[in-house]
Structure 1
């Protein structure tokens, strides 16, 4: 799946409907911010999910071509980040 197709999964309505849109890496972040600039009344705060990581691992690497261990590491990182995000924003 190419980058343009992935970013199309986030619609213009999402930028007006959601308070946060969290992404995994700087390429996603750049694409989302560019798309958000074309939306009037954008209310979503666009951030890297990794910015909430208590272990300071900012980028969440795509494990698609990796091993089972790589998928486990990404799962653990996402879990840490989501917990921290919820603690900060609840």
Structure 2
């Protein structure tokens, strides 16, 4: 993120019950996340969130965004670029 001039103060957290009632979209990175979130959302009455893979918006059609945690710097750059493409495409579609 620093390489791209993005300041970040990241705090990870679990998706909560309220998230399913608050957010229009919950975008996830891989099929395991998708499956887990859809299962959890099925337990929420009046769930308003649409749960999708962020990669479904990738113009390069790379559906899964691989976790770069155990990779090298190049893997983090690949994921960064993929996320930027997907987010731009998502925002263009819904703006």
> Do both proteins adopt the same fold according to a TM-score greater than 0.5, normalized to the shorter chain?
yes
Runs of 4+ in 1 over 6 A off after TM superposition: none
* SS of match in other structure, 2:69: coil
Structure with the higher helix share, 1 or 2: 1
Matches within 5 A, 1:1-90: 9-90=14-95
* Structure 2 unpaired stretches of 5+: 1-11
Q: Deviations over 1:37-60 (max 9, x none)?
A: 000010000000000000000000
TM normalised by structure 2 equals 0.86
* Aligned length, in residue pairs: 84
RMSD between aligned residues: 1.1
CA distance in 1, matches of 2:36, 2:72: 27
After TM superposition, the score normalised by the length of structure 1 is: 0.91
